Amino acid sequence: MGVSRGAVGPAGRWAVVAAVVCAAAGAARAQDEAAARGLIVKLRPAATVAQAQRLPGPQADAERLQRVLDAAGVRAASTRALGSTMRHVDFGRVLPGADAAQLAQRLRQQPEVEWVEPNVREKRLQNMPVPNDPSFGNALQWWLQPPAGSDANVKALRLRGAPGVQQAWMQTMGSAAAVVAVLDTGITAHPDLDGHILPGYDFVADVDDANDGSGRDADPRDPGDWVSAADAASPAFSGCGVEDSSWHGTKIAGMVAALTNNARGVAGINWNGRVLPVRVAGKCGASVTDIVDGMRWAAGLAVVGVPANPHPARIVNISFGGDGSCNVYDEVVADLRAAGAVVVAAAGNAHAAPLRPAKCAGVVGVVALNRDGFKASYSNFGAELSASGLATVGGDYATVDSAAWDVALGDSGLYTLVNDGRTVPGAASYGAIAGTSFSAPLVAGVASLMLSANPALSADQLVAGLGASARPHVQASRIAACSDANPGRCICTTTTCGRGILDAVQAIAYARNPSGYQAPAWPTVMIGSSGEARADLDDALSVAARDRPANGTGGSDGGGGGGALGAGWLLGLALAVLSLARGPRRPAGR
Ligand SMILES: [Ca+2]
Ligand SMILES: [Ca+2]
Ligand SMILES: [Ca+2]
């Protein structure tokens, strides 16, 4: 707040600054008790015409106020006009808060006094931190900006699904101690990230999959996970599609902890964050046993044959998943929870039921939302996420499915770090991505801010707090609810997309006071009823009544489907990156 510091200059210069933000409940009390440079008094209108006309206004008020002060037994050094209707009573000294309150109370008991306020200092309004990273400034990183916009706004200004990370930075910019383990393809060198990467480990046991010439080792660098035509034709990679390297781990690490406010590239969620790269995935995915060992090691638990992790993580992000039972994950997730670590997992990209481990007990399974707050076209969803799941933006690119709503309601994806190499690592770069893979690290990153605000939070409190602080899912009268028959862009509920929409500000409010936290009275957010949003929805509905056909009748946009993998691959498909862009080749976001 640009503040006149409560200064009492010439009448008229005194500025009442209305927009006092009381971030904490204690702020109002603190202000009541603040030292005062006198009192500001407003008298009631003069009781009689004679009284009012006897002297010019200010002089009459001065005399009346002096009588009031005398009657109240209050001795002031001087009084002077403040604006046209008030007077500043100066005591010639700074009054301790309690003294000011007592004097004010005595004056309030005088019948001619309308009100009395202490002349305290207003606080400078804290502005939202604006990191100087260019891609934050030019709105490519809309996913870090405050939730905002209404139906009246064009799509580029509607961010009703955003978690509000920038606002949360007013409370904490994060700490290095709140380590996030990224169980993924490993890590590539990137000048906008390197300083925030801890020594990790490579758990990919199979040499062919690992693609680095060895089984497990202490070097978690990502050598590339491309699958060539020759690979795909070989028995070892039966069922795997030909694809370029994904650099999946680097993208996620960048979202969590890219170097921020360094006048370069992008901002990360945790300005001081540390990512522990735990390489569990090679070509074509990650095997369950490597994931289990990687999860345990990430949380500081013992893994036979692997040195202890000197930087245990309280938050373990995994953006891989598959069909199948939770038997294995239930065991390892329980061990992690007992060790104080929370698993955050992507729900999957096949607009179908959530995958494991996202659907498993105690895991924060994450659904991807469109920037407007409804479910992203591709995101998996389901009742398995009701207990501890959550939803947040994941990028919602237009797809190639001509029956879908496409560009009318899609968005520009999430802008983060990438690498330009098609096979082996190439140049460090930036680009937009989409998928539940990238919704999960938003939750993991916000959880790291919660731990930064309160390192004493337990794993149970982290999970409970993320849910308790979530915003209600958006509503709409013209977009149908998510269901098996309507699995595309659809309206989420707590029975389909987790407990609500991730809210970074409220998550930190919870973190600071878990036992006393009360969620705000959230307003109902209706989508597409009027204005630009209605026009966009009309455009979308002109394509089809719904975004995409029910599962089984339309094509999958990849990922999560659980291809026919060979023995030993209980799980393994990386969630596909939709319309993966490789940095500069993709035009700037809308
Ligand atoms: Ca290796
Ligand atoms: Ca390695
Ligand atoms: Ca940066």
- Residue 137, pLDDT score: 86
Domains within the chain, CATH numbers bracketed: 25-118 (3.30.70.1510), 134-584 (3.40.50.200)
For 371-391, the pLDDT digits (tens) are 999 999 999 999 999 999 999
Active site residue 437: yes
Element (H, E) at 181: strand 180-184
Distance 420 CA to ligand 3 centre (A): 18
Q: Is 78 a catalytic residue?
A: no
What is the separation of C-alpha 499 from the centre of its chain, rounded to a whole number of angstroms? 15
Torsion of CA 43, 48, 51, 52, to 10 degrees: 70
From the CA of 279, how far away is ligand 2's center (Å)? 8
CA 191 – ligand 3 centroid, Å: 9
Place of tokens 């237009």: 398
Q: With a cut of 50, which residues of the chain have pLDDT below it?
A: 1-32, 553-590
| Residue 323 a catalytic site member | no
User: Residue 53: what pLDDT?
Assistant: 61
pLDDT the model gives residue 470:
98
- Active-site residue identified among 377, 412, 437, 452: 437
Please report, to the nearest 10 degrees, the dihedral formed by the alpha carbons of residues 160, 164, 167, 169 taken in order: -170
Instruction: Indicate left, alpha or beta for 38 from its phi (over 0: left) and psi (-120 to 50: alpha).
Output: left
Report the C-alpha gap between 405 and 375 in whole angstroms: 13
Q: Note the pLDDT tens digit of each residue in 312-324.
A: 999 999 999 999 9
Q: Which of 184, 293, 411, 557 is catalytic?
A: 184
pLDDT at 46: 79
pLDDT computed for residue 126 by the predictor = 67
Ligand 2 centroid, distance to 183 Cα (angstroms): 14
Q: How far apart are the CA of 143 and the centre of ligand 1, in A?
A: 34
Active-site residue, from 248, 319, 351, 557: 248
Q: What is the pLDDT of residue 521?
A: 96
- CA-closest candidate to residue 108, choices 71, 59, 60: 71
Strands of the sheet with 390-393, listed across from one edge:
201-202, 275-279, 180-184, 315-318, 342-346, 364-369, 390-393
